[in-house]
Structure 1
Amino acid sequence: MSSPRSPLLCPVYAQVPNACTNGMVDLGTTLLESLQTVEEAHPDVQGPIYGSQWRTVKVYVRLHGSSAPILCPLKHHKDMGSPQVEWHGPYGKIYSGRSKRIKDDKSLVFSNAYPDLSGFYTCTVQYYYNGQRDISANTFEVFVFTDPEVSFNMAVTYQIDTCSNIDMYLVVDKMQEVLNIMLQMLRCQVVHPKMNCKLDKVSGVSSASMHIIFQLDAFGRSWGDACKQTHIRDCTDASNSRVEKARTLIQNFFHKQEQMLRRMDPKPIIHYIAGSLTMERLYNCKPGYGIHNKKHHTCSNCCVVCHPGSYSATHETKCQGCEDSVTYGEVTCRQFGKDL
């Protein structure tokens, strides 16, 4: 026996061509299967994002960016009138404004997105057919996101005669000073240098090696001015570009030391060990954002606004739990009238 058919169950769904015939739909066809698989819209999707009657659809909108059109599947039949479509969000019924716009096709579009736009949105569609009212609703959860900010952990090793040589502390200070002067134009900086010295014995000959670790980040002096020069409010791309250029400059700096040392005989008492520079790329999120690989499958490498019940006060990649956080993008945890 064939599946029941009804003109009220024939949504216009772009991903399922020829699903409707003469205003009818077979509920056992690929239309049902396709709608059941809808869960998350890819953050870079350009085409329309359709709702699902079976589950909430997650929508990702870039910070200060615009979304693709968000649509409820509409039903078409010759005996139906035009549907009445209403959108409701976290703050009630939605009317077109600066950041939210309802287009002629009843789709919802976000622009200049900010964290407070995150939340649940419901599209309610109402029809009248043969004196009967038909109502359907689709729910979307909107998340504002941004790209991670990149920094680097770096390490180098210098050879020294003995760990009691106090000049090794001057080497660390001078290295940081020289690198920061070199990186000044990029508004990047070398921070948190740490050093430890280890005594080595090879074939009865004593020597020592000093291991220096430091961090390269994009938030040096006047970094905010560099952000303003990009003429955008979210300057993550600009800061990541600057830190990548700074990484290359540091690589070249130590490569030149290698070249100079090849021509020196004897070598200085304290000198860079060729090839010892190592780098580890780090990812950070703005306060109020975190990376949630399990919760946001299609935006697994995005910094997504922290969900209610969590917050992030630092540039870490995880949102921390907080029962009293009730809005998206919280940067503090308020408990019993106090900020944690």
Structure 2
Amino acid sequence: AMRAWALLSAVLWCLPGVECPRSTLFNSKGFIYGQLGHPEKIYVKLHQNSIVLICKDFKLAKKEIVDPTYLWIGPNEKTLTGNNRINITKTGQLMVKDFLEPLSGLYTCTLSYKTVKAETQEEKTVKKRYDFMVFVNPFAPGWKGACNGSADCDDIPNHNILQARDRIEEFFRRQAYIFYRNFNKTLPAMHFVDHSFQVVRLDSCRPGFGKNEGLHSNCASCCVVCSPGTFSPDVDVTCQTCISVFIYGAKSCPTSNKNRQYED
């Protein structure tokens, strides 16, 4: 019973009536435009496809541009090309499939296009840069199967947990009634106080993740992948400092002795 109770508590993120944080990921159209001089923060669920990043600002996307080219740079500061995980369209849209911790970081796109002066027909090349900071946050294993493709998957596990709470409460109530009706002469009286069984919210993050309201104010209650320079070896909600870490999602801190431990 205690093990089941711990499981119920661990996966309860947001209760009905309590506003759950919505990150940039939850865009109803499934994509986001860049903004000049302002990096966009996007939060992607682990093993889910990222939101579509568009290498244009919203205003420019409404205009026709001449000879556009798009150059995407990934977190490793290398040029991104299309493959089985990275999908880049001819119109500069990027999506990452099956997002993992190491894929977190800065995604930069440089848009180049030409303008022509009507009076002199002089051509000029214009370049604009758009930055996207992409972070991954975890979700309970098996969430895809439980949600059946629902867009409101965050709410489904919470609904199931609260439903389990109601059924457990009803079980105790019926047990008290049965004992009272059938065994009141041979066993001590058994009583159940209505609504005395409660589900307690328990904050925890999987190893390699933590919460940081300062860096992720628009997703303050989310477990977000630990940034380079930090790590989280357990289910705590805090990423600890470690200057020897240079990756996202570190679960250990490399030491200076001979038995140095690195991420797999």
Does TM-score exceed 0.5, indicating one fold? yes
| Max Rg structure | 1
Q: CA deviation at 1:70?
A: 0.9
Indicate how the Cα distance of structure 1 residues 302 and 327 shifts in structure 2: closer, same or farther if over 3 A, else same.
same
Q: CA deviation at 1:41?
A: 6.0
Q: 1:304 maps to what in 2?
A: 224
**Alpha-carbon contact 2:226-2:250 (below 8 Å) kept:** yes
Q: What amino acid does structure 2 have at the position aligned with 1:135? A: K
Q: CA deviation at 1:321?
A: 2.4
- Name structure 1 gaps, 5 residues minimum: 1-39, 150-223
Is residue 95 from structure 1 mapped to residue 87 from structure 2 by the alignment? no
Q: 1:282 maps to what in 2?
A: 202
Distance of 1:239 and 1:336 partners within structure 2? 42
**Alpha-carbon contact 2:23-2:219 (below 8 Å) kept:** no
Is residue 230 from structure 1 mapped to residue 222 from structure 2 by the alignment? no
Distance of 1:100 and 1:93 partners within structure 2? 11
Q: What amino acid does structure 2 have at the position aligned with 1:283? A: D
Q: CA deviation at 1:336?
A: 1.8
The percentage of aligned residue pairs carrying the same residue is 28
**What secondary structure does 1:282 align onto?**
coil
Is residue 73 from structure 1 mapped to residue 56 from structure 2 by the alignment? yes
- Structure with the bigger RCO (C-alpha within 8 Å, sep 6+) is 2
Structure 1 length-normalised TM: 0.54
- Name structure 2 gaps, 5 residues minimum: 1-21, 116-121, 148-152
Match of 1:256 among 161, 164, 174: 174
Match of 1:85 among 56, 61, 70: 70
**Alpha-carbon contact 1:49-1:68 (below 8 Å) kept:** yes
Q: 1:53 maps to what in 2?
A: 36
Q: What amino acid does structure 2 have at the position aligned with 1:119? A: G
Q: What amino acid does structure 1 have at the position aligned with 2:216? A: H
Q: 2:90 maps to what in 1?
A: 104
Indicate how the Cα distance of structure 1 residues 143 and 329 shifts in structure 2: closer, same or farther if over 3 A, else same.
same
**What secondary structure does 2:84 align onto?**
coil
Structure 2 length-normalised TM: 0.68
Moved more, 294-303 or 95-104: 294-303
Matched pairs, number: 221
**Alpha-carbon contact 2:231-2:251 (below 8 Å) kept:** yes
Q: What amino acid does structure 1 have at the position aligned with 2:174? A: K
Q: CA deviation at 1:120?
A: 0.4
State the Cα RMSD in Å.
Answer: 3.6
Q: CA deviation at 1:140?
A: 0.9
Distance of 2:36 and 2:185 partners within structure 1? 77
**What secondary structure does 2:178 align onto?**
helix
Distance of 1:228 and 1:136 partners within structure 2? 39
Q: CA deviation at 1:106?
A: 0.8
**What secondary structure does 2:165 align onto?**
helix
Distance of 1:272 and 1:68 partners within structure 2? 52
**Alpha-carbon contact 1:230-1:238 (below 8 Å) kept:** no
Q: 1:140 maps to what in 2?
A: 132
Distance of 2:136 and 2:93 partners within structure 1? 18
Q: How does 1:313-332 map to 2 (within 5 A)?
A: 313-332=233-252
Distance of 2:186 and 2:230 partners within structure 1? 55
**Alpha-carbon contact 1:81-1:127 (below 8 Å) kept:** yes
Q: CA deviation at 1:65?
A: 1.5
